[in-house]
Structure 1
Amino acid sequence: MDCACSFPDTGKTLVWPNHRLCDLLKIEHPIIQAPMAGAATPELAAAVSNAGGLGSLGCASMLPDGLRTAARQLRASTERPFNLNFFVFPRPDTSDAVLTQVIDRLRPYYKELSLDEPSRRLPPIGPGFDDEKLELLLEIRPPVVSFHFGIPDAAAVAKLKEAGIVVISTATNVAEARQLADGGADAVIAQGWEAGGHRGSHAPNRPGDGVGTLALVPQVVDAVKLPVIAAGGIADGRGIAAAFALGASGVQIGTGFLSCDEAGTDGPRRALIRAATDMDTMVTDAFTGRAARARRTRFALEMEVNRAHLPDFPQMVALSAPLGEAGAKGDFAFHLYGQAAALNRELPAGELMQTLVAETGEVFEALFDRQIDACVSEVSAR
């Protein structure tokens, strides 16, 4: 795959300084659209892939027939590679003591919203990735599969790779990156603290735990020999160019695509992003039982001040969702987006891809010109 792009209006060509991710994924531009469940639609993923990036679809909660339908829709909309994403987590096993404690903690909110008593029946949920999902992937054979919260066991990864599927996964620290490399991943997504949505940590951690993208990416690059994909707080050409300066082979962008026409972003979240600032969000586990960066709300803030043990991910959703559905003025809403949301552009996905590539080229060109000017000045001074 040629990792270069010509701009007809200027006659200039952007040559990416690192081709490893393009070569691995067989894409033109080393830009991955994050697989945001619900917001990442087949239309969005196909548009990104058709524009030379890697479109992704969050499939963690999809039933088999729904996943087959989505994959067929993607293949009908693009002939280029795309990515299907899954969560890796153990079967939830919430104790009665934890359930009682969190119900006591939530009861005042339920009363405030005139809701019935919180239910003690948590939904039975299987592990995030199991043999059924593995067989389904071997049937569908997507070009790329990505994982969040870890990586499946070595036998499952080997079967995926034997089927010609590229396997990537997320790390939020250096130790997790090494685990992915040892587990057979073909590339590592280094997800910084700034990223919207659930943190990809391999075990549940406290909302205050995290490493920023600027610090994380170069350490992961030094720790593993695989292509590293920078994620978190990247929204324009400046961020993409910076990721390459840190040693990354590509980037993953989530929040930046939430404002695209093809995204499944609901109206309230679009409005929040339209008016976003850098201080809008916080990391909270109050909604799902795992740390996620979302809109700062009264509920999230109060749950953080007075922390309680929560049901295992994702069983906590059964208790928090009724609050979000009934809550007024957004006090209980769960709107996921990252710290760079204020940089979003409301564009079709293909046009956004073109803009990102053009902006990155301008940054590279400006930096190169400065290098040339500095060299000329140094030679002239001799």
Structure 2
Amino acid sequence: MEFRHPIVAAPMAGGPSSNELARAVASTGALGFLGGGNKTAARVAEDYRSVAASGDVGVNLFVPDAANTAVDVAKSQQGRAEKLAAFREELLPFAQRLGVELPTVEQAGADVSDDWEAKLEAAVEWPIVSFTFGLPGPELFQRLHESNTDVGVTVTSAAEARNAADHGADFLVVQGPEAGGHRSVHDPLGVPETLELAELLDAVHAVVDIPFVAAGGIMTPEDVHKVRAHGASAAAVGTALLLTDEAGSNALHRYMLRTDRSGITQLTRVFSGRVSRSLVNELMSLDAPAVYPEVNALTVPIKRAAIEARDPRSTHLFAGTGYLQARTGSAVEIIEWLASS
């Protein structure tokens, strides 16, 4: 795959990667992205149709455990229900404070597929698809290649990069520890790589010969120039777009990004069961099990109610390490500024 523009919009599921943001980014010649996680296949297909004429836009999909070749099924199932039950008990004071009911453990685990098969059927119509949260089998890459789809995989280590290339990936998104939101560690029980982005890019460059995009803490033209000097074909930006006019970031998230001047972010599993980076709040004091998407299902009522109540203590406030440099304004202006390196 050829990257004709130095900037890629990182897919941010859950709202920030709105259709409006994808259109604005694509209009500059950069690669826009839609976040397909936690949406139905029909909704993702409809969203793509609404932005397809804007320019280059990709669709990012979450890989469920059942399709993830990096999952040790027996290990991932060990004590799963008991861990979730204990975590649910820890969540009850937050739920009571916000006046919401939590799903039972059984309800939280009722549907863990994220409409995967239907999304794959729709994906043959999309020219660019990327996968996060794991590595599907080689047969899926072949299936998408038969429809002339370019397929990318988010990786967090050189070993993941090599495996993804071997499976048939056309490009990689190399995500460093500085990234906000979720880390795409392929093994959901795995410990995230701690190499800083520049070192990680060098490590990946040494083991693959396909294009890769750098992601994590990229906030300025100088950051873009640096990652390209380490072999990246383009720079993926997420936190840098959270305060743009077109982003679907909720009002509480925007307020906290503008007013929390501590500069401190931390990694946690509490919001979904997958490791993510956020501004620090009270909910992050809990110790969540590495069980996705059930932890996400348990916390959704709390997170949504906290956003509605403007309560920053109890919802995700995803942010990369460079969030203090996030700018307001139009996405077009910010993309053009970032590309000016």
Normalising by the smaller structure, the TM-score range is 0.7 to 0.9
Q: Can you list the C-alpha shifts for 1:29-76, whole angstroms capped at 9, x where unaligned?
A: 121101111111111111111101100000122223212211111124
The C-alpha deviation readout for 1:216-269, integer Å capped at 9, x for no partner, is: 111111111111211100011010010012121211111111111111011111
The C-alpha deviation readout for 1:164-208, integer Å capped at 9, x for no partner, is 111111111111111111110011111000101110110124677
Question: 143, 152, 157: which is aligned to 1:173?
Answer: 157
Matched residue, 1:335? 317
Output the CA distance in 2 between the equivalents of 1:177 and 1:129: 26
**How many angstroms apart in 1 are the aligned matches of 2:98 and 2:198?**
42
Residues in 2 aligned to 1:48 and 1:117: alpha-carbon distance in whole angstroms: 37
Contact 2:34 2:60 in 1 (8 A): yes
Is 1:56 aligned to 2:36, yes or no? no
How far, CA to CA, are the matches of 2:207 and 2:262 in structure 1? 30
Relative to structure 1, the CA distance from residue 240 to residue 105 in structure 2 (aligned partners, 3 Å threshold; closer, same or farther) is same
**Following superposition of structure 1 onto structure 2, how do residues 147-226 of structure 1 map, counting pairs within 5 Å?**
147-205=131-189, 210-226=194-210
- Contact between 1:172 and 1:210, CA under 8 Å: does it hold in 2? no
Residue 134, structure 1, aligned to residue 120, structure 2: yes
The SS at the match of 2:108 is coil
Contact 1:218–1:247 at 8 Å: present in 2 too? yes
Is the 8 Å Cα contact of residues 87 and 129 (structure 1) preserved in structure 2? no
In structure 2, how many angstroms separate the alpha carbons of the residues matched to 1:100 and 1:271? 33
- The letter for the 2-side match of 1:57 is L
Identical residues among aligned pairs (%): 31
> Aligned partners of 1:85 and 1:57: how far apart in 2?
6
Larger radius of gyration: 1
Tell me how far apart the structure 2 counterparts of residues 269 and 232 of structure 1 sit (CA, whole Å): 19
Note if 1:67 corresponds to 2:44: yes
- 1:308 CA drift (Å): 5.3
Provide the residue aligned with 1:86 in structure 2: 61
Partner amino acid for 2:289? H
Count residues in correspondence: 326
- Pick aligned residue for 2:302 from 323, 327, 340: 323
Structure 1, 83-92 or 338-347: larger mean CA deviation: 83-92
Q: Residues 203, 239 of structure 1: CA spacing in aligned structure 2 closer, same or farther, 3 A cutoff?
A: same
Counterparts of 1:1-382 in structure 2, within 5 Å, are 24-25=1-2, 28-37=4-13, 38-76=15-53, 78=54, 80-91=55-66, 95-113=80-98, 115=100, 119-120=104-105, 121-128=107-114, 130-138=116-124, 141-205=125-189, 210-277=194-261, 279-300=263-284, 302-303=285-286, 307=287, 309=289, 312-327=291-306, 329-358=311-340, 360=341
- Quick one: structure 1 residues 325 and 65, their matched pair in 2 at CA, closer, same or farther if it must change by over 3 Å? closer
TM-score (norm 2): 0.88
| Alignment gaps of 5+ in structure 1 | 1-23, 361-382
Give, as a single letter, the amino acid of the residue that structure 2 aligns with 1:124.
A
Quote the Cα distance in structure 2 between the aligned partners of 1:270 and 1:216. 30
Deviation at 1:153, TM superposition (A): 1.4
Deviation, 1:112, is 4.8
Structure of greater relative contact order (alpha carbons < 8 Å, 6+ residues apart): 2
Q: How well do the aligned residues superpose, as a CA RMSD in angstroms?
A: 2.3
Structure 1 distance, partners of 2:221, 2:80, is 47
Contact kept in structure 1, 2:32 and 2:57, CA below 8 Å: yes
Q: Normalization by structure 1: what TM-score?
A: 0.79
- In structure 2, do the counterparts of structure 1 residues 316 and 223 end up closer, same or farther at CA, with 3 Å as the change threshold? same
> Which stretch has the larger CA shift, 255-264 or 147-156?
147-156
CA distance in 1, matches of 2:213, 2:232: 6
Shift of 1:128: 4.9
| Alpha carbons 1:83, 1:144 under 8 Å: kept | yes
CA distance in 1 between counterparts of 2:143 and 2:100 reads: 47
- Paired residues of 2:19 and 2:34 also in contact (CA < 8 A): yes
Equivalents in 1 of 2:315, 2:255: separation in Å? Answer: 13
Query: Which residue identity is paired with 1:40?
Result: S
Which segment is superposed worse, 236-245 or 268-277? 268-277
Question: Quick check: 2:277–2:319 contact (8 Å CA) kept in 1?
Answer: yes
Report the 3-state secondary structure (helix = DSSP H, G, I; strand = E; otherwise coil) of the residue aligned with 2:267.
strand
List per-residue Cα deviations over 1:295-324 (Å, max 9, x = no partner): 211220x21xxx3535x2011122222333
- Partners in 2 of 1:225 and 1:103 — Cα distance? 45
The amino acid that maps onto 1:81 is D
2:31/2:57 contact within 8 Å kept = yes
What stretches of structure 2 of length at least 5 have no aligned partner?
67-75
Describe the superposition over 1:315-351 as per-residue Cα deviations: whole angstroms up to 9, x where unpaired. 1122222333445742112111211111112121111
Secondary structure of 1:316 counterpart: helix
Aligned equivalents of 2:100, 2:47: Cα separation in 1: 36
